[in-house]
Structure 1
Amino acid sequence: MPATIHGERTLTELDFVRLGKLADHQLPPALADLLDAADVLPSREIAADLVTMNSQVEIEDPATGQRQQITLCYPGDSQPGAGFVSVLSPVGIGLLGTKTGATACWRMPNGTEGSARVVAVLFQPEASGDYTR
């Protein structure tokens, strides 16, 4: 099962450009597919409940109900143990461009499938007026 989302996938123009320039990393096929298929909007037009780069989100495991907070970040800022999840990871790809209430699904490198429901976008740079982060 590739990274899929139940609903729309939307990216900011800035996220789209920056992700396309991750030249020192080979883009995972699921991220390349997302970049090809996503709607791209100016940062000022992005809804506050959309997961963008550097957003802090609360997610819930649909199987266990366990909740956690994570921040979607670029690879250089990744610290999974501290809740900073790289956009190049299956979880990061699954969450990027989703909205509150959506369920993201992904396949881990070991073949196990995972999913999480976006409970809330706790912080989003664009919603706070930061259009360059």
Structure 2
Amino acid sequence: MNDRNLPHLSGLPPALIVSRLDCERLEALLDTPLAAATDHRGLRRELDRAEIVEPAQMPADVITMNSVIRFVDESSGEERQAALVYPRDADGSAERISILAPIGTALLGLRVGASIDWPLPGGRSARLRVLALGYQPEAAGDLHR
């Protein structure tokens, strides 16, 4: 087992994998007035450090855009299931997390079993651990969703 498969245990962020298609779409999103109106340097940093792979080569245990994720906030013990979506698909419900939200940015590219510490508004932070993927577009053959 290599380090990429290990949960986040040190102060370093876990490795992350992003599909080329998701990366291209997210880069374009970051250039829009919607993204420019707020600070999304965290998403830019995550994309800059990500390993980019072709959609057909995406491992089935990695969170991609439109994936349905089950995760736990290890600080509160709260378990949630939600889809990671583009802002146009976010409806304000807890079941749809925008990639532009801090928690959405934190989840992108993580593998099942990985944990990440992520700062939240108000100086708080959350430690999230990915429990399962209920749906991943690439694994389902939906490569161009």
TM-score of the two chains, using structure 1 as the length reference: 0.91
Give the unaligned 5+ runs of structure 1.
none
For 1:47-58, list aligned pairs within 5 A.
47-58=59-70
User: 2:54 maps to which residue?
Assistant: 42
TM-score of the two chains, using structure 2 as the length reference: 0.83
**Structure 1 residue 106 displacement after superposition:** 1.2
User: 2:133 maps to which residue?
Assistant: 121
Which whole-Å CA distance do the structure 2 matches of 1:121 and 1:104 have between them?
Answer: 16
**Structure 1 residue 6 displacement after superposition:** 4.2
**Structure 1 residue 70 displacement after superposition:** 0.8
**Which is bigger in relative contact order (C-alpha 8 A, separation at least 6)?**
1
Give the unaligned 5+ runs of structure 2.
1-10
- Distance 1:53-1:5 versus aligned 2 partners, 3 A rule: farther
Give the letter aligned to residue 65 of structure 1. G
- Distance 1:84-1:13 versus aligned 2 partners, 3 A rule: same
User: 2:16 maps to which residue?
Assistant: 9
SS at match of 1:15: helix
List, as ranges, runs of 4+ consecutive aligned residues in structure 1 with deviation greater than 3 Å: none
Rg (Cα) greater in structure = 2
Which whole-Å CA distance do the structure 1 matches of 2:58 and 2:117 have between them?
Answer: 22
Residue pair 1:59, 1:69 contacting (<8 A) in 2 also: yes
Identity of aligned residues (%): 35
Higher helix share: 2
Give the letter aligned to residue 10 of structure 1. I
